[in-house]
Every structure is written in structure tokens, then in C-alpha cells.
Structure 1
Amino acid sequence: MIDPRFYEALGPVTVRALSPSGEIGGDAEHKLTGAAPADRAGPNDLCYYEGKKAAVLDSAPGACIITPAQAHLAPKAAALIFSERPRSLFARLVPALLRPRSFASNAPAVHPSAKLEDGVRLGAGVVIGADAQIGAGAEIGPNSVIGPGVTIGRRTRIGARVSIAFALVGDDVSILAGAVIGEQGFGVAGDASGPVDVPHLGRVIIQDRVTIGANSTVDRAVFDDTIIGEGTKIDNLCHIAHNCIIGRGVLIAAFGGISGSTVIGDHATLGGRVGIGDHRTIGAGATLAGGAAVFQDVPPGEVWSGYPARPLRKWLREAAWLSRRAAGGREEGK
């Protein structure tokens, strides 16, 4: 469900009005008010379907954007909108249904509807949006911006020039200067007219006692939540992409880059400049050595290294073999 603290519904809009020039099957006058992933879409939701495994949808969306060849895979949809590029069309239609909440023009720096508990300290130039909530003893550094609906827990410290939007932040969190939390992730769909940004309608959840380093970024999810678990420590200049789930007590050193929809188990450790491909799972207690480039799932408790990353012992054997080969070549060249 889209969180109304962060997004405004613009509907209802009929399927015909939403896609006036599109080819429509079913009830073109069916009214839509929201958007959802295909597997969870309800009777008032727009979704899209690009099923690679040709599985029949169990959900009953209000309207489903789908290719004509796969129309039979959405039998419960009230209406179908036909497109050869469903994701791209979805990206173009959603802004007519939903809009991220923004700062009201001419509003005071701290919106009157924002709720600040006792002992909150605000630096010079702080901006706080409508309906934001700041817990007791929290500190917001100079020129930081807290978006509409954002919740920040008790005793949390926000550094200077931090931007937080579409996020729920726990107690005793530290977010250092220049960090950006809750911006749209890098989701792009293409069609004949070029690339288009895919709307991100989710949130960021930062649990208690997390530290996020200076100039690091955490993207909000497409529909659900990007989650940073309790006690996780993220160094400076790291990037957590949309839909990631980072477990409890995870350590991520500087320049770490975590691609979208990656899951990192509790107490994993990532050295500096580690990069992880999208949709990967890093098991609990795993260690990724500095500079590792991870394109596979990593089992719990294992130590991986290298580019591409592989189990440490295997990497060491390969490095030793290459060293011997190189040494042999130099001997032959004498």
C-alpha cells in the first residue's frame, strides 16, 4: 500500500482517461486511484506485467498494462491496457494517479503541522515539511531538509546539509553531513521515445542505532521499503540502492555500492570499495574483502574476495597460480 504520509492520490481516474490513445480491453470506465506491483494489485490499482515465466496472475488489478500476447495471463483484471513495453507505459501513466508530497510554496521553514517533541535542537537554515515528526532530544544540523511526513526518532542526530524524505528513522540514529536519504533510485525504462524514469513509490526504514556516513545515499524503494537494520554502520560515500534490505549489525566500509534489491544478512562485513550486483543475497556473517565485485549469492559465514568475487581460498589459489606462471615466464625470457 502506498503510504499517504508521503504520496498524494490524484484520482479517481478512469482507465480511458488515463490512457486515452491506448488500446484497452475490458471495462474502460473502471476507476483507478493507486498503483501497485502486479502480484499485489487490488481493484483500484494500476499495475504492469512483463512475466518472463508466463505465470498467470492471481491478483485482480483495476487495470493491468500488458502485451497483447500475454493478455491471457491477467484474467482477473477489470481492464487491460495493451503495450509492447508495459513498464515504460506504466512509468508514464503513474504520475496521473499519484504524486510525491512536496514543500508548500511560501510555507515557513518549519511547517506549522510538524510535531517536535521536547528538547529538539534545530540548526540555522533547517527546513521541516508538513506533518513531519521529530522525537525528543533529536538534533538537526544546519541547512538540513526534512521532508513532509518524515519521522525521526528520539536522540537521533542529523548532521549539516542532510536531506531526508519518504523515510521513517528510528531512535539513536546518526546521519552525518551531506547524506541523502529517500531520493528516487535508478530505475529506467525505455521505449521508442527514449528512456523514462520509473516512479518510486516506496519508503526508507532506518532502524534504531544505525550510523550513516557523510555523503552517503540510501534510495527509497519502488513499492515497498528499503530497510537498514538495527545497529548497522555505514561509512562515508556509500550507496544503498532501491529495495535493498540490510540486516542488523552490518558493517559497510567507505565507497561501498549495493545495487537494487540486494539482501544482506545480519552481521555481514563489507570492506572498502565493495560492489554488489542487483538481486544478490549476502548471507549472515559473510565477509567481503575490500574491492570485491560480487555477482553471485554469498553463503552465510563465508569470506569472499576478488574481481569477480569468489571464496577467499579459491581466490588465493588462483593468485598463487598466476604468480607462479608469471615467474616461470620471466625465467624463460632470460
Structure 2
Amino acid sequence: MDELLLLAASGLAREVLAAVRESGQFDVIGILDDDAGKTGTIVDGTRVLGPASDVLRYPGAGVVVCVGAGAGRARIVDRLAALGVADRRYATVIDSSVRIPAGCRIGRGSVLLGHVTLTAGVDLGEHVVAMPGVTLTHDDVVEDFATFAAGVSLGGGVRIGRGAYLGMNASVREGASVGANATIGMGAAVLTDVPAGETWAGVPARVLRAAIPSGTAA
């Protein structure tokens, strides 16, 4: 059984622990977290060993970043890359209830929790997180660091940009796209393309906050 380190003592880490223990996919040897006050504490039976940089002390272990926000996951991955952590070290965690049909691709570092459904030709990038009950249908493309809260549903041929966040039970119409770093509110019904960086909510979904132009103060 391959060894695994979880980065961040978070709720997502607890969910990953539960999935891994049920599947027997990995042996979780510990959690790393930059909050020094957490070092030595126990999270669901697993010890917090030290800061994220301690990943270098365990060169044989796979790594999964358990930060809920895609931007946070990206920052940690960039930081570890600067320390020399290779992409090949990132493990993919897939709950035992999830079936991956032939022709679907799951990128390194991604997490698929209970009863996520993929149909045909789904392409998930790296460090994507799909919470329980997410449905991804034919020919969906999901870029790196995107996050799906529980119950999100995508129609066929949807494209989700890098770092986008879709709230609980949101849905996206067939063929529509959600731009990079956009946010979709809980229960929203997205019927048209959402530009990068915008926040949309409602049924049908409409813009709540436009993207802030580069170089403009918030």
C-alpha cells in the first residue's frame, strides 16, 4: 500500500481520510499543516506531523493538498514546486463508490468523494476537488484547481475554467462555460457563459459581481 501525506488539517482532509480508509487505496502516514499550534495534534486518528515544508522529509510518500479553495491549493502547489516537489508525487484520491469509465481522465492531485458520477469523455485537470454527489456528463472539461461543492451537476460539453468554484447544488446548462476563478452560488442554474472572475447566482443565474480589471483596487 502506497504511503500518503495530506496537506492541511481541514474538513476536506477528514473526508479524504474517510475515503482512503474505506478503499484501502493508501496508507496515510500523517498530515502537514503550517499552523504550528496543530503540530502533534490528532485528526481522526492521524497525527499532524509539522509544516507543509516537511514534505521533503518523506520523499517516498504521495501528497494530496486538502485545502477547500482552489486558489489556496494552487498557492501550496506553487510553493512546493519551488522546494523541488515533483508533480509525480501528487496522488489522486477516488472514493470507492466512484466509477471511472474508459475514456475519462483524472489529473494528478484530484479528489473525487462519494458517489461522484462521470459518464463519458470527462476530462478533469489536476488538483480538482469534487464533493459528494457531483455529476459530470459527457465531454465535460474541467481545468486545474476547480472546486465542485456537493450536488453540482454539469450538462454535456461544459467547460469549467481554472480555479472556478461551483456552490452546492448548482447546475450548468449543456455547452455553457464557467470562466477561470469565477464563482457560482448555491443552487444557481447557469444557462449561459460566465466570464472569468465573475460571481453569479440565482435561477436563472445572473451576475452579482463583475470581474475586477487587472491593476484595479478592490
SS class of match (2:104): strand
Q: Which of 1 and 2 has higher RCO (CA within 8 Å, sep 6+)?
A: 2
Match of 1:172 in 2: 91
Instruction: Name stretches of at least 5 consecutive residues in structure 2 with no aligned partner.
Output: 4-19, 26-60, 65-88, 211-218
| Pairs within 5 Å for 1:61-100 | none
> Alpha-carbon deviations, 1:235-264, whole Å to 9, x = none?
001101110000110010000001111000
Amino acid at match of 2:165: T
Root-mean-square deviation over aligned CA pairs: 2.8
Query: Does structure 1 residue 242 correspond to structure 2 residue 148?
Result: no
Closer, same or farther: CA 178–274 of 1 in aligned 2, 3 Å: same
Please, what TM-score do these two structures have when normalized by structure 2? 0.56
Identity across the alignment (%): 26
Aligned to 1:280: 176
Q: Secondary structure of 1:311's partner?
A: strand
Spell out the pairing of 1:208-219 with structure 2 (5 A cutoff).
Answer: 208-219=108-119
For 1:157-194, what per-residue CA distance to the aligned partner results, in whole angstroms no more than 9, with x for missing partners?
Answer: 9xxxxxxxxxxxx9501112312221xxxxxxxxxxxx
Is residue 131–residue 150 contact of structure 2 (8 Å, CA) maintained in 1? yes
| Secondary structure of 1:242's aligned partner | coil
Which blocks of at least 5 consecutive residues in structure 1 are unaligned? Answer: 1-118, 122-138, 145-153, 158-169, 183-201, 315-334
> Which amino acid in structure 2 is aligned with residue 175 of structure 1?
I
Change (3 A) 1:307 1:298: same
Aligned to 1:181: 100
Q: Distance in 2 between matches of 1:142 and 1:250?
A: 24
1:262 and 2:158 aligned: yes
- For 1:304 and 1:142, the matched residues in 2 are separated by 36
Matching residue of 1:203: 103
For 1:278, give the aligned amino acid: E
Q: TM-score, normalised by structure 1?
A: 0.37
Q: How many residues align?
A: 135
1:195-227 deviation per Cα after TM superposition (whole angstroms, max 9, x unaligned): xxxxxxx61110100000101111222xxxx21
CA gap 1:233/1:298 in 2 versus in 1, 3 angstroms: same
Q: Does the 8 Å contact 2:201/2:208 carry over to 1?
A: yes
